[in-house]
Amino acid sequence: MTDDIALSWLFLALAGLLIGSGFFSLSETCMMALNRYRLRHLVKQGSRGARLAQGLLDKTEELLSFILAGNTVLNAATTILVAEICRRLFGDGEYVLGIATGAASLSILIFAEILPKVFGARFSERLALIASYVLSPMVRITSPIMWFINALVRAILRVFGIKPVAEGAASLSMEEMRTLVLEGGHFIPQKHHNIMLNLFDLENMTVDDTMTPRALIEGVDIDDKIETIRNALSTSHHTRLIVYEGDLSNVIGIVHVRKVLNASEKEPLAKETLREIMRDPYYIPEGTPLLQQLTHFQEQQRRMALVVDEYGEIQGLVTLQDILEEIVGEFTSQSPMNAGMFRRQDDGSVIVEGSCPLRVLNRKLGYNFPLDGPKTMNGLLIEQLEDIPEPGTAVKVGEYPIEILQTEDRKVKVVRLAAT
């Protein structure tokens, strides 16, 4: 019966089968290579093609079954058709079967597999949105047949004790999201890129990493003379100050400097006025994660908290600004807390206060001191030496030579970091 069909029509039918098979191969590649997050963005923008593609990918099992079934049928038909064309051209000789097999394999490999899949991978988004207009109705029309085939496949899988993979995109872990941001650096503005990376770092940080140490907390003693208190308030670098009675261990409140100045405009500042306008102190335990504390500041409508250890002793102070600066960077070029903590010398070395946080040195000067242990230069050196060092002692921490210049009250006061 096929002898009645012109050879030109057979070649035309062969081209149609290869195009159809190529379409299925292209569709499989571009749909699987499609960026799911980009696709969701396009759906929100109202793209109909993206909406159709999203619907297909929501049922990946059905989509792949349809594409593979279509490809298999077309490739089988292509093989039969090539065999018939070869018979017409070369007769019924024994070698004709080999020619037909080679010609069919080469045609399918080049025009129905390699070329379409290369194009599908190269232009995945554009082609996936176009292909979805064709695939979507075809999947719906053939759904009864594909349901039967998928049911048969599931039954066979159950015989071997294999459970089908659940549909839907897998969630990303924090490390995977960090990698996503790192690899997408060329498409994200540098400032936004840094902020996003800082947010990931915040996940592993606690208030201990960014708090102002107890020795550097600025406050006023309610037992001091009123003139001393007024002078401390008027010259403070901060908008809020700790108010304590006798000693920092006995904090009685936190005062907003602006409220004090407003009150002093009406009448001379008195200690009773100070007690009235100050707010109760807000305590948090050491080791509190920074992200959690950021939420607590929002819920408690606070901007400052005192960090205490398991015995209730004050270890430091953390503010909302401290946490925000870990995300977006410092708001001022020279923080009062860090002023004078380090200074560069003409020979390239750096003079550092023992109370200087290691995180400040890493961030501002490019060092790479470990942050999973002691938080200050003093703590790092005492841990390394396991003793209170004498002035003139030299030690190398990692790749950094350090010379102790001054000690005081059982702690390292000043060190020199050699030029690197």
Average pLDDT of every residue of the chain: 83
State residue 336's pLDDT score.
Answer: 47
Is the pLDDT higher at 182 or at 156? 156
Q: What mean pLDDT is predicted for residues 391-418?
A: 87
DSSP E strands in 182-335: the ranges are: 212-213, 219-221, 240-245, 247-256, 283-285, 304-308, 314-319
Q: What mean pLDDT is predicted for residues 385-409?
A: 86
- Cβ–Cβ < 8 Å for 359, 210: yes
Structure token pair of residue 245: 């009675």
Structure token pair of residue 29: 């590649």
Residue 320 has pLDDT above 50, yes or no: yes
Residue 305 has pLDDT above 90, yes or no: yes
Tell me the CA distances in angstroms from 360 to 94, 161, 319, 364, one per residue in order: 82, 56, 16, 6
State residue 334's pLDDT score.
Answer: 47
Q: How confident is the model at residue 317 (pLDDT cuts 50, 70, 90)?
A: very high
Q: What mean pLDDT is predicted for residues 369-380?
A: 84
Residue 337 has pLDDT above 80, yes or no: no
pLDDT tens-digit map of 207-234: 888 888 887 788 888 888 888 888 888 8
Tell me the CA distances in angstroms from 261 to 64, 228, 229, 230, 314, one per residue in order: 72, 15, 12, 9, 28
Residue 184 has pLDDT above 80, yes or no: no
State residue 168's pLDDT score.
Answer: 46
Alpha helices in 329-419 (DSSP H): 358-365, 377-385
Residue 341 has pLDDT above 60, yes or no: yes
Q: How confident is the model at residue 367 (pLDDT cuts 50, 70, 90)?
A: confident
Short-list 15, 16, 7, 9, CA closest to 88: 7
State residue 333's pLDDT score.
Answer: 46
Pick from 177-191, 285-299, 329-343: least confident: 329-343
Contacts of 215 (CB under 8 A, 6+ apart): 355
Give the Cα separation of 358 and 213 in Å (integer).
12
16-36 CB burial, b ≥16 within 10 A, e <16: ebbebbbbbbbbbbbbbbbee
Beta bridge partners of 357: 376
Residue 167 has pLDDT above 50, yes or no: no
State residue 271's pLDDT score.
Answer: 81
CA triplet 275, 276, 282: central angle to 5 degrees? 70
